[in-house]
Amino acid sequence: MKRSELTEFAVEEEGFKLKIRRGTNGLPVVSTVRGSNPPFVQVDTVPPMPLPVAAAAAPAPAPAAAAAEEAGVSYIKSPMVGTFYRAASPESKPFTDVGAKIVENSVVCIIEAMKIMNEIQAETKGTVLEVLVDNGQPVEYGQRLFKIKQSS
C-alpha cells in the first residue's frame, strides 16, 4: 500500500467484505465482515524486522546467473488486467505457438477486459520460446505472457 500510495482498498463479494486502509501511523488496518450479522475484525500489522546490514548487503548470485543466461531474451507483457486467450475462439488455432516466428505487429493473444476483446501485438521480433499463461486464465498488468528469443 505504501509503495502504491494507496490509503484505502475495499472488496465486497457475496456476503464477504474486506477493507484495508492505512492508519495514522502508516500501518495497514484490516477489517473483514462475513454473513448477515458478522463479527468485526480489525488487525494492526507489525512492520517486518529489518535485515542485518551484512545480510542485506550480500548479493544473491542466482539473479546474476539468470541474467547472463537470459541474454537476447525478452518478454511480451500484459498491458492490462483481464482474461488471457490464445485464440480468437475456442475452435480457432492459437495466434502463436512455441517455435513460431513473430514480428512487431504479430497478434499473439487476446486479453478480454470488461467484455472487450483486445488484440495484443508482439511489439518485438523473434521466436516464441514459451507461453507463460494458460488459456482462459486471469492476468495482471505487466504480467509476463510470452518468452521471446529476440532476433535482429
CATH class of the 73-150 domain in this structure: mainly beta
Residues 102, 75: Cα–Cα separation, whole Å: 13
Residue 17 pLDDT level (bands cut at 50, 70, 90)? confident
What integer pLDDT is reported at residue 62 of this predicted model? 53
DSSP strand E in the chain: where? 8-13, 16-22, 28-34, 41-44, 73-77, 82-85, 101-102, 107-113, 116-121, 126-131, 138-139, 144-150
The per-residue pLDDT for range 53-109, each reduced to its tens digit, is 544 445 555 555 455 457 889 999 999 999 999 999 989 999 999 999 999 999 999
Q: What is the mean pLDDT of the chain?
A: 76
Average pLDDT over residues 12-41: 59
Residue 24 pLDDT level (bands cut at 50, 70, 90)? low
Whether residue 110 contacts residue 80, with contact meaning beta carbons closer than 8 Å, is answered with no
The per-residue pLDDT for range 107-126, each reduced to its tens digit, is 999 999 998 899 999 988 99
For the beta sheet containing 16-22, the strands, ordered from the edge strand earlier in sequence to the opposite edge, are 8-13, 16-22, 28-34, 41-44
Ranges for all domains in the chain classified under CATH 2.40.50.100:
73-150
Residue 1 pLDDT level (bands cut at 50, 70, 90)? low
Number of H helices, E strands in the chain: 2, 12
26, 39, 84 from 1: Cα distances, Å: 9, 25, 26
User: Among candidates 75, 85, 66, which has minimal Cα distance to 129?
Assistant: 75
Amino acid at 5: E
Q: Is the pLDDT of residue 10 over 90?
A: no
Give pTM, 2 decimals: 0.54
Q: Look at strands 73-77 and 107-113 and give their pairing.
A: unpaired
